[in-house]
Structure 1
C-alpha cells in the first residue's frame, strides 16, 4: 500500500472518528438530561441532609445543583482514576507498536502489547489505594458505593487493556468499520444500561456508572474478539490474507526458542515513550490532579470550572482528537524513524509534507474561528446550557479564555502528532527531559496562578504549557525538513484578507453582544445569533476563496474516502 492509500485510509479513520465523537456527545447529552430528570427526584432527601442551612427556593432546582456539582464531582474522580490507569498502561505501547514496517515480527509485537495487562493491574491497584486511602472519601449516605466504584472503574481499565493487541492490529490494518461498530455498539449499550439503572435503581448512586463503565469495556473488547474470530475462521475472507496471523490463538502471548519474547528495539522505544507519557499525562490532566489532591478551589468553583472545561473542550474532542489519532498512524507508517526528510523516500516525504501543511492550516482556521466567535457567544452558550447560575458569574470569562486555549490546543495536536511519529528513540528520550521540566513548572504554575486568580489560573497555566510544547514541536519540524524543498510550516500562514475577515467578524459580534445579549430577551438573542451566523458565513466564504490548497486537499481526501467506502 502506497503513501497516498495510507493517506486516504487515515482520512477515512479521522472522519469515522469524528462521526463517532458526534454520536457519543449526542448520546451523552440525552443521557445527562434523562439522569437529571429522574435522579434529581430521588436525591431531594440527600439535599435536605447535606444542605440544611441553605436557602432553598426550589427543592427540585437545588437537587439539580447538588447532582451537578456534588455527585458528578466524585464521578469525575472515578473517571480520572480510569483515564490515568489506561493512559499510563497503554499509551507508550500504542505509540511504539503503531510504528514500524510490514516486515516486523508480529509475534514479538503482540507479546509486547500483552504486557499492558499486568502494567494495568499494577496501576489500577496503586491508584485505587491512593483514591481510597489518601483522598477524602465521601459520606456513604450522601454518595453511596464510592468504594465499590473505585474497584469497578479500576477493573474496567484492566478489562479494556485485554483488547489492546486486537485494537493495535485493527488500527495498523485500517479496519475502520470495526472501530465504528465496536465503539458505537459499546456506548449505546452502556447508555441503555445506565438509563435503565437510573430509572429502576437510582439509590445505587455511583454503582450505576461503575457497572455501566465495566459493561462498556467488556462489550468493546468482546466486539474485537468476535470480529477477529469470525474473520480468521472464514477461509474465503480477503482480510484474512492481509493479516499476519492465521488463527485467533496467534493473538495470545507465545514463546519461541528461536527468537526473544519481544522485539527489543520496540521495547526500548516503548520505554522511551513510557517516560514521556507519564509526564504528558500530568500536562494533560494536571489541573484535575491539582483540584483533586490540593483542593485549591471551593466546591462551587470546581463545578463551574468542570462545566466550562467540558464545553470548551468539546470541539477539541470532536475534531482534533480523531485527526490526531488517525494521522499519527499515517505519519508513523509512511515515515521511518532515525532518518530526516532528505534520507527517506521522497514520494512519501512529499505526501507527508502536504498532509502536515493541510492539517496545520485546518487546525489554524478552526482555532481562529473558535477564538473569534467564542468571545461574543460564551455568555449566551452558558446561559442556554445552565442559566444564570453559569452565565452571571465567572463562567463567561472562563469560557472566553478557554477559546484561546482551544486555539493553542488545535495547533499542538497536529504538531505533536507529527513529532511523536517521526522522532527517533534518542530524540524521544531528550524530549522527555523537556517534558519533565514542563510538568514540574506546570504544576507549580497551576497552583500559584489558581491561588492568585482562581480557576482562571488553570487556563493560563495550560496556555503557557501549550505554547512551550508548540514551540518545541515547530523547532523539530523545521529541523526535520531542513535541506528539503518542502515547507509544511507554511500551513501556519494566512492571507491578510482572511485575517481581516476574522478580525472584522470578532469586532462586529462583540458589538452585537453588547447591544443584543444577554438580558434583552429571546428576540434580541436570536438577532445576535443571526449576526454571528452571517459573519461566520462571510468568514468561511473568504477562507474557501483564499485557501484553495486546503480546499483541494479536503476534496481529494473526501473523494478517496467515498471511493474506499464503495469498494468495501
Structure 2
C-alpha cells in the first residue's frame, strides 16, 4: 500500500471513528441526563469517577503500550509473534485488576453502604470487565493494522446501544439496585464487544475476501498463542519497544486521569461534588472525545507506517516526508480551528448548555465557570493530541525512553499542582492544572517536530498560525456572544434564550465563512480527504 492509499484509508478510518464517538457520546450523555432523574449524584460520582477509573486504569496499563508497539510495524511483520505478544495483555490485565481491586476495596475510602450499596460488587465486576475486554486485543490490532474500517464501528456501536438500553430498563424498573445496574451494564458492554470481534474474524478467516487480500492469518487457531519451530515465541525488538511504551503509558495515564486519581486517593471532593465535576468534565470534553481522539488514534497509524521510526528525515523517502509534513500541518490547523471555536463560543454558552442538560443543579454555582475554563483546556487538548500523535509515531526507542523521564517530571508536577490548586480553588484547580500540564507537553512536542523537520524544507508547524482576519472574526464573535449572554440568558425565559442561540449561530456562520476564504489549504485538505469519503459512500 503506497502513502496516498494509506492516507485515504486513514482519513476514512478517522471519519468512521468520529461517527462512532458521536454515537457513543450522544448515547452516554442522554443516558446520564436520564439517570440523573432516577439515581443520586453520589452514585453517579462513584460510577463515573471511582469505578470507571478502576476500569480505565486496568485497560490502559495492560494494552496501551502493546498497541503502540504492535502498530508501529508494517503489514509484513511476523504476525504470529505479534499475536503472541498481544496475548500477554490478558495476564497483565488480571494482575492489574487484582492489585488495583485490592486497593479500591482495602486502601481507599469505602462509600457508606446505606447511601451507596453494593460497592464491593461494583469493584469486582468493573475489574472483570476490563479483563474481558482485553480478550479482543489481538483482534483489535489486526483490524486496525489492516484497515478493517467498519468492524470497530459496528462492534462498538452495537455494544454501546445494547448497554444503554439495558441500563435504562434497569434504572426504570429497579432504581434501588444502584451500582448493580451500572456494573452489569459494563460487563454486558465488554462481553458483546469481544463477541463481535470473535464472530467477525471466525467468519472472515479463510474466506475468499481474506485470500484476495493476502490476510496473514489463515486459520482461526492462529489467533491463539502459537509456538512455531525455528522462531522465538515473540519478537524481542517489539517487546523491548513495548516495555519503553509501557513506562510512558503508566505516566501518561496519570496525566490523562490525574484529577480522578487526586479525587480518589486524596478525598479533596465528596462523592456528590465528584459527580457534578464529572458531568461538567464530560460535557466539556464532548467534542474533544468524538473528534480529537479518533483523529489522533487514526493518524498515529498513518505516521507510524509512512515514516521510519528513529530515522533521520534526510534518509527517508522524500515523498513520504513531504506527505507527512503536509498532513501534519493540515491536522494542526484543523484542530486549532475547532479548539478555538469551542473556546470562543463555549464561554458564552456554558451556562445555557448546563441548564438544558441538568437543570439548576448544574447551571448554578460553580458549574458554568468550570465549563468555561474547560473550553480553554479543550483548545490545548486539541493541539497536544496531534503533536504527540506525530511525536510518538516517529520517535526512536531511545527517544521514547528519554521522554519517559520528561513524563515522570510532568506527572509529579501535575499531581502537585492538582492538589494545591484544588485545595485553593476547588474543582477549578483540576482544570487549571490540566491546562498548565498540557501547555508543557505541547511545548515539548513542538520542539521535537521543529527539530525533526529542521533539515528539510517543510515547516508543518505553520499549521499553528491562523489568518489575522480569522482571529479578528473570533474576537468579535466572542465579544458579541458574551454581551448577548448578559442580555438574554439564562433566567429570562425561552424566547430570550432562542435570541441568544440565534446570535451564536450567526457569529458561528461568520467564523465558518472566514475559515473557507482565509484557510484555503485546510479547506482543500478536508475536501480531498475527509469529504471525499462521504461522496464515495453516496
Is the contact made by 2:46 and 2:271 (CA closer than 8 Å) also made in structure 1?
Answer: no
1:317 to 286, 289, 298: 289
Further displaced range: 207-216 or 459-468: 207-216
Contact 1:232–1:240 at 8 Å: present in 2 too?
no
* Corresponding position of 2:69: 96
The ranges of structure 1 where at least 4 consecutive aligned residues each deviate by more than 6 angstroms after the TM superposition are none
Q: Which has the larger radius of gyration?
A: 1
Residue number among 176, 180, 183 corresponding to 1:203 in the alignment: 176
> In the TM superposition, what whole-angstrom CA distance separates every residue of 1:70-123 from its partner, at most 9, and x where no partner exists?
111111211110000000000000000001123311111111101000100000
Residue in 2 aligned with 1:50?
none
Q: Is 1:301–2:273 an aligned residue pair?
A: yes
**Matches of 1:408 and 1:524, distance apart in 2:** 32
Match of 1:459 in 2: 431
1:384 equivalent in structure 2:
356
Shift of 1:10: 0.9
CA deviation vs aligned residue, 1:471-502 (integer Å, no higher than 9, x gap)? 01001111111111111111011111111011
In the other structure, the counterpart of 1:60 is: none
Identify the residue that residue 52 of structure 1 maps to in structure 2: none
Counterpart of 1:156? 129
Whether contact under 8 Å (1:68, 1:303) holds in the other structure is no
Specify the SS of the correspondent of 2:257: helix
TM-score, normalization: structure 1? 0.92
Distance 1:302 1:29 in 2: 17
Residues in 2 aligned to 1:226 and 1:92: alpha-carbon distance in whole angstroms: 26
Q: Matched residues in 1 for 2:87 and 2:535: separation?
A: 36
Instruction: Establish whether residue 132 from structure 1 lines up as the match of residue 105 from structure 2.
Output: yes
User: Residue in 1 aligned with 2:162?
Assistant: 189
Q: What is residue 479 of structure 1 aligned with on the other side?
A: 451
Rounded Cα–Cα distance in structure 2 between residues aligned with 1:424 and 1:246: 32
Shift of 1:240: 5.8
Which shows bigger deviation, 212-221 or 436-445?
212-221
Instruction: Tell me what 2:118 maps to.
Output: 145
Q: CA deviation at 1:465?
A: 0.3
In the alignment, the residues of structure 2 paired with residue 558 and residue 379 of structure 1 have an alpha-carbon distance, to the nearest angstrom, of 33
What residue in structure 1 maps to residue 510 of structure 2?
538
Q: Which residue number in structure 2 is paired with residue 166 of structure 1?
A: 139
Partner of 1:213: 186
Alpha carbons 2:45, 2:273 under 8 Å: kept: no
Partners of 2:163 and 2:248 in 1: CA distance: 32
Cα offset, 1:524, TM superposition: 1.5
Structure 2 unmatched ranges of 5 or more: none
Tell me which residue corresponds to 1:232.
Answer: 205
Mapped partners of 2:213, 2:272: distance in 1: 57
Cα distance in 2, alignment partners of residues 131 and 240 from structure 1 = 49
Distance 1:322 1:490 in 2: 23
Match of 1:179 in 2: 152
Q: Is 1:512 equivalent to 2:484 in the alignment? A: yes
Structure 2-normalised TM-score?
0.97
Aligned-pair distance for 1:342? 1.7
**Residue deviations 1:269-311 (CA, integer Å, cap 9, x gap):** 1000000000000000001010111111244433332221111
More displaced stretch, 1-10 vs 517-526 = 517-526
Q: Which residue of 2 aligns with 1:62?
A: none
Deviation per CA, 1:449-489, whole angstroms, max 9, x where unpaired? 11111111111110010000000100111111111111111
- In 1, Cα distance between equivalents of 2:353 and 2:40: 17
Q: Residue in 2 aligned with 1:61? A: none
- Post-superposition shift, 1:144? 2.3
- Alignment of 1:82 with 2:55, yes or no, is yes
The alignment's C-alpha RMSD in Å is: 1.5
- Give the deviation of 1:199 after TM superposition: 3.3
